[in-house]
């Protein structure tokens, strides 16, 4: 007979051992999907077509419409059902034109710049003094510039802290790349709106912002969404950091600087219909419950929209393809959605959630791939710590693929956040940076930056997360905490 101490030890082992891992059939399905993707991936071919033959996909543009139609055709080709476009409208479109910017005094020097989206052009050539807007963080001293900014070209802040030589970076230090306006908290957006209204009242010719990236890379953001009455009548330009810093150095030495600008941008009259592209693998006995795989198909237009977010969109398509190609039948419906309007503030996913609000209680999980081309190394739980044990115990194959990190950080910058506000367990894939911050929103966001092996792994991770979640007896546990707005 075992001793009392041995019985206690046995009890502890049985009581605290992990729950049963993947059922053999599910584990076999996971290995089949990995094997198929490793030997016969179509991901990079699809990404190449999207980037080279459709190109950048600004929300509201003809290119995005072409991408929607092409993606829907690929979904049908891969055997997805209920493939369709879900429409919503935006109030107006915007088209980028050229920017001519030049210092006239104290030297003649061309400046590299790009217009912020949804801001107007100059309606011809304008010439004016460059002035640095050096105000307190809360803009409480803004009035001291009253009467001094008419026809001025205003630098909005001092230069960003950008490390131009990555190989010399201190251990643990990361370069600063700025923050999108659409990602700012409400109080900050209100303050920015107050500053914009003041500048408009003063009659400035244009404003300049540091692109905040190294190696002459530009940056981009912008949206038709502005607080009432604050849509600027002047252009807003992102300037290459090196040129922005040069202008700042001149002003610091009290050198008068004169610039000439000619900005060609055009608004497109709305409303304009845009789409989220949707396809499904219908479930069997739990078909009314949904597991959603998503990414955003829209992009900025300085580059090709490759790593932001052609890569994520093609990961979603590839996950759908390998699940179908392996002949797998999920219990729950797996829905694949390529959102639009993400770059203007998660618009497409918010519209999707609004249209399907009465179904949100039936969504078991949402998985979104939207942080570049790097390998998936973890799962952002976004306030759902109760689900970590599910991934670790029921999907141990993820660890074999290198998925070992979990974070409850509330990351509001991808489309999963729109579902989180409705209480749906929504997850973002944590990825190796792979220089994402350098490329994203810049002219360097091109096909050649994509890492094929890392993206294949991303498709495998998404397919496994989706299929395993679809096969569970119960939906993923929901958080009991109130869901804050993204």
Better-scored residue on pLDDT, 103 or 25:
103
pLDDT digits (tens, 9 = 90+) for 226-257: 655 456 789 999 999 999 999 999 999 999 99
Pairwise pLDDT comparison (49 vs 22), residue with the higher score = 49
Q: Cβ-count burial of 370 within 10 angstroms (0-12 exposed, 13-18 middle, 19+ buried)?
A: buried
Measured distance CA(366)–CA(125) in Å, rounded: 49
Tokens linked to 107: 């030297």
Phi and psi of 274, rounded to 5°? -125, 170
Structure tokens at 268: 């497109």
Whether pLDDT at 338 is above 80: yes
* Segment 370-416, tens digit of pLDDT: 999 999 999 999 999 999 999 999 999 999 999 999 999 889 899 99
Q: Tell me the pLDDT tens digit for each residue of 108-117.
A: 999 999 999 9
Q: Give the residue-averaged pLDDT of 144-150.
A: 94
The fold for domain 96-266 equals Glucose Oxidase; domain 1 (3.50.30)
127 bridge partner residues: 260
Which has more confidence, 480 or 49?
49
pLDDT score recorded for residue 182:
57
User: pLDDT exceeding 70 applies to what percent of the chain?
Assistant: 88
The closest of 360, 327, 311 to 462, measured between CA atoms, is: 311
Which residue is associated with the tokens 């009991």? 480
Least confident among 4-18, 120-134, 207-221: 4-18
Highest mean pLDDT among 23-32, 231-240, 279-288: 279-288
pLDDT band, residue 197 (cuts 50/70/90):
confident
DSSP letters spanning 45-100: HHHHHIIIII----TTSHHHHHHHHHHHHHHHHTT-EEEEEEEEEEEEEEEEEEEE
Q: Pick left, alpha or beta for residue 372 (phi over 0 → left; psi -120 to 50 → alpha; otherwise beta).
A: left
Compute the Cα dihedral for 29, 35, 40, 45 and give only its sign: positive
Could you give the CA distance from residue 24 to residue 30 in angstroms, rounded to a whole number?
Answer: 10
485 Cβ contact list (under 8 Å, min separation 6):
421
How much is the pLDDT for 179? 52
Confidence tier at 164 by pLDDT (50, 70, 90): low
Token couple for 402:
């290198």
**11 pLDDT above the threshold of 70:** no
Residue 196 pLDDT: 87
Decide if pLDDT at 456 tops 70: yes
Q: How far apart are CA 439 and CA 307, in angstroms?
A: 8
* DSSP symbol at 440: T
pLDDT for res 24: 84
Tally Cβ neighbours within 10 Å of residue 16: 7
Using the predicted structure, report yes or no on whether residue 206 has a pLDDT greater than 80: yes
User: Residue 35 — very low, low, confident or very high, per pLDDT cuts 50/70/90?
Assistant: very high
d(CA 123, CA 147): 23
User: CA-to-CA distance for 282 and 329, rounded, in angstroms?
Assistant: 8
pLDDT value of position 138: 81
Residue 136 confidence (pLDDT)? 85
Spell out the domain ranges in the chain: 21-91+271-471, 96-266
Q: How far apart are CA 126 and CA 117, in angstroms?
A: 20
Q: What is the DSSP string of 243-256?
A: HHHHHHHHHHTT--
Tokens of 36: 């198929």
Cα 12 to Cα 2, 362, 390, distances in angstroms: 15, 37, 21
Residue length of the chain: 486
Domain 21-91+271-471 of CATH type 1.10.1040.10: no
Q: What is the pLDDT of residues 53-109, one digit of tens each?
A: 999 999 999 999 999 999 999 999 999 999 999 999 999 999 999 999 999 999 999
Question: Which pair of tokens denotes residue 276?
Answer: 């989220």
Question: Pairing mode, if any, of strands 113-115 and 81-105?
Answer: unpaired
At residue 176, the pLDDT reads 38
414: which residues sit within 8 A by CB, 6+ positions away? 296, 342, 346, 368, 370, 371, 428
Three-state DSSP state, 149: coil
pLDDT-derived band at 23, boundaries 50, 70, 90: confident
Q: Give me 149's structure tokens.
A: 């900014």
Q: Does the structure show a pLDDT above 80 at 17?
A: no
Q: What percent of the chain has pLDDT over 90?
A: 79
The predicted pLDDT at position 172 comes to 39
Residue 184 has pLDDT above 60, yes or no: yes
Average model confidence (pLDDT) across the chain: 90
Q: How far is CA 110 from the centre of its chain?
A: 32
For 18, phi then psi, to 5°, come to -60, 150
pLDDT of residue 177: 41
């Amino acid at each position: 007979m075992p001793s009392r101490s041995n019985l206690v030890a046995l009890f502890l082992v049985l009581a605290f051992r992990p729950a049963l891992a993947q059922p053999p059939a599910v584990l076999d399905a996971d290995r089949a999907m990995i094997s198929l993707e490793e030997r016969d991936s179509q991901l990079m071919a699809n990404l190449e077509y999207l980037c080279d033959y459709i190109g950048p996909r600004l929300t509201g543009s003809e290119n995005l419409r072409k991408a929607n139609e092409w993606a829907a055709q690929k979904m049908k080709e891969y055997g997805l059902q209920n493939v369709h476009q879900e429409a919503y409208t935006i109030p107006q479109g915007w088209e980028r034109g050229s920017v001519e910017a030049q210092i006239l005094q104290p030297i003649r020097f061309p400046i590299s710049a790009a217009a912020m989206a949804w801001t107007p052009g100059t309606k011809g050539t304008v010439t004016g003094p460059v002035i640095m807007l050096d105000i307190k963080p809360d803009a409480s001293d803004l009035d001291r510039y009253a009467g001094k900014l008419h026809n001025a070209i205003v630098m909005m802040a001092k230069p960003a802290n950008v490390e131009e030589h990555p190989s010399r970076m201190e251990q643990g230090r990361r370069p600063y790349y700025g923050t999108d306006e659409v990602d700012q908290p409400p109080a900050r957006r209100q303050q920015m709106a107050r500053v914009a209204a003041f500048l408009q009242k003063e009659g400035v010719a244009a404003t300049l912002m540091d692109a905040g990236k190294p190696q002459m890379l530009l940056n981009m953001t912008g949206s038709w969404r502005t607080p009432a009455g604050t849509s600027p009548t002047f252009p807003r330009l992102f300037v290459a950091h090196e040129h922005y810093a040069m202008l700042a150095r001149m002003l610091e030495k009290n050198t008068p600087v004169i610039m000439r600008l000619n900005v060609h941008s055009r608004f497109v009259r709305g409303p304009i219909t845009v789409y989220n592209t949707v396809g499904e693998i219908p479930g069997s006995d739990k078909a009314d419950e949904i597991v959603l795989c998503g990414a955003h198909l829209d992009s900025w237009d300085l580059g090709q929209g490759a790593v932001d977010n052609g890569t994520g969109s093609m990961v979603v398509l590839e996950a759908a393809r390998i699940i179908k190609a392996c002949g797998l039948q999920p219990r729950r419906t797996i829905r694949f959605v390529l959102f639009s309007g993400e770059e203007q503030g998660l618009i497409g996913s918010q519209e999707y959630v609004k249209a399907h609000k009465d179904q949100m209680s039936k969504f078991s999980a949402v998985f979104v791939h939207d942080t570049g081309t790097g390998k998936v190394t973890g799962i952002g739980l976004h306030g759902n710590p109760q689900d970590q044990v599910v991934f670790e115990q029921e999907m141990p194959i993820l660890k074999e693929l290198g998925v070992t990190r979990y974070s409850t950080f509330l990351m509001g910058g991808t489309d999963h956040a729109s579902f989180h506000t409705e209480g749906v367990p929504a997850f973002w894939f944590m990825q190796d940076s792979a220089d994402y911050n350098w490329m994203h929103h810049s002219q360097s966001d091109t096909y050649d930056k994509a890492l094929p092996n890392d993206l294949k792994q991303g498709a495998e991770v998404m397919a496994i997360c989706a299929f395993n979640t679809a096969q569970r007896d119960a939906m993923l546990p929901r958080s009991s905490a109130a869901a804050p707005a993204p």
